[in-house]
Structure 1
Amino acid sequence: MKVLIIIAHPDKRSLNHAILKSTVDYLKEKDHEVKVTDLYEQQWKAGVDSKDFLDKEDGARLFAMRDSGTAYLSGMLSEDIKAEQAKVDWADIIVFQFPMWWYSMPALMKGWVDRVFTKEFSYTGEKMFNTAPLAGKKAFIVSTVGVPRGSYTTGQLGDINDVFFPIQQGTFALIGFQTLPPIIGYMADSRKSNCFGEITQEIRDRFENIDTVEPLKTSSGYTPSE
């Protein structure tokens, strides 16, 4: 099994990095292949601009989606984007690990999505969802939050899958990933919780049973406009 983990957390001493180390050690122990993209360590450029597309003429108007597809097809994407796309092509499973900030992923990770999932590489005008170029790969979120589990079930914050709908449906499902349920570490900021032990065990269980985990029921219908 080939696993790509993309992590966005600014502190190597964090709970997230401890979880990452545990996951990587476990996967290697089980003889799986694993690659890690540490966005803060790489000082990832979050914003899309004309420098991403090496065939773009200076001063020409930028059409980000269209230009990304043209640059991908001509092999003229910037080298950092090419390197990440190669990792995605290589992987069977892609894990997006991050602390939840304001109901979403940190800005660097959103910037990774914006820049790496270019047109033609991850979707086309005619191919999305089950027919997208990356269809068949599996993906899921590993995230930490500072509140109890009940806050995202019976509490005021909403169901966790509703919170992550823009990511799980608007990104993962749209580009063809089989979207597995997210793994959440609750009460991440509390010294009284067993967040580390619980989430690392859940991650291990996930990989042990990866072939039988039921994907989320995401909408896959898409009719391209004429």
Structure 2
Amino acid sequence: MKVLIVHAHPEPTSYNAAMTRQAVQTLQSLGHKVVVSDLYRMGFDPVSDRRNFLGQVDPARLKMQAEELHATATAGFAADVQEQIDRLLECDLLILQFPIWWLGMPAILKGWIDRVFACGMAYGGGRYFSTGTLSGKRAMCALTLGGPREVYSADGLYDEVEQILFPIHRGIFGFTGCTVLEPFAVYGPNRMDEEARRAELARYAHHLEHLDAARILPMPQ
């Protein structure tokens, strides 16, 4: 299996970085090929505009979908975008690794989605959900949250984590045809002692070792 981990945290000693290292170690030990796109380390540009393309269909007005369709048909994406597109198309499993900031993903990760999930490549032509362009791939979120588990519940300050991740699960993964796996969340790692943090990494390794048993989130047909 080919795995692409898109890592979105600026600090190399962060718990998110520890989770990515654990994922690489675990998956490689199982014989899988793992590629990591470490967005901050790469200096990935999250701004989606004409810089995405080598040429242009309409110099007078930027219509992103038209330009993306043209670039898909003519191999016309900029090198940094094409590299990530190639990694996405080659993978069997996509893992987004990130912290929840303001109940969403970091801007650099949203920018990666904006630039890489291009029309004509990731969606378009009436292909979506069960007939989506990325059908056959699996996708999941691995993430940290700043607060304890009880605040991320139906009765807490926020909602269940799967509700928070709905735009990603339904609007990105599901829409493009991916099989959406249940997320793996660590609540408040900065509030834990070292033993508890190690235990969560072990729990993550066990989860990755048994991905075939992971719950699949229902999507529209």
Pairwise TM-score range, normalised by the shorter structure: over 0.9
Counterpart of 1:44 in structure 2 is 44
Counterpart of 2:94 in structure 1 is 94
Which amino acid is 2:181 matched to?
L
Counterpart of 1:162 in structure 2 is 163
Q: How many residues align?
A: 220
Counterpart of 2:67 in structure 1 is 67
| More deviation, 26-35/169-178 | 26-35
Per-residue deviation at 1:194? 5.3
- 8 Å contact from structure 1 (residues 122, 134) kept in 2: yes
Superposed counterparts of 1:106-185, under 5 Å: 106-153=106-153, 154-185=155-186
CA shift in 2, pair 1:24/1:48, >3 Å: same
2:152 & 2:51 partners in 1: Cα distance? 40
- 8 Å contact from structure 1 (residues 98, 144) kept in 2: yes
- 8 Å contact from structure 1 (residues 136, 177) kept in 2: yes
Q: Residue 16 in 1 paired to residue 16 in 2?
A: yes
- TM-score for the superposition, normalised by structure 1: 0.92
Counterpart of 1:53 in structure 2 is 53
Superimposed CA distance per residue, residues 76-121 of structure 1 (whole angstroms, 9 cap, x where no aligned partner): 0111111111111111100000010011110000000000000011
Per-residue deviation at 1:181? 0.8
1:139 & 1:196 partners in 2: Cα distance? 24
Which amino acid is 1:105 matched to?
M
2:69 & 2:196 partners in 1: Cα distance? 41
- 8 Å contact from structure 2 (residues 23, 208) kept in 1: no
SS in 1 for 2:139: strand
Where is the helix percentage greater, Structure 1 or Structure 2? 2
Counterpart of 2:29 in structure 1 is 29
Counterpart of 1:213 in structure 2 is 214
SS in 1 for 2:212: coil
- Give the aligned CA root-mean-square deviation in angstroms: 1.6
Superposed counterparts of 1:75-90, under 5 Å: 75-90=75-90
Quick one: percent identity of the two aligned structures?
Answer: 32
Which amino acid is 2:213 matched to?
T
CA shift in 2, pair 1:199/1:85, >3 Å: farther
1:199 & 1:135 partners in 2: Cα distance? 31
- TM-score for the superposition, normalised by structure 2: 0.93
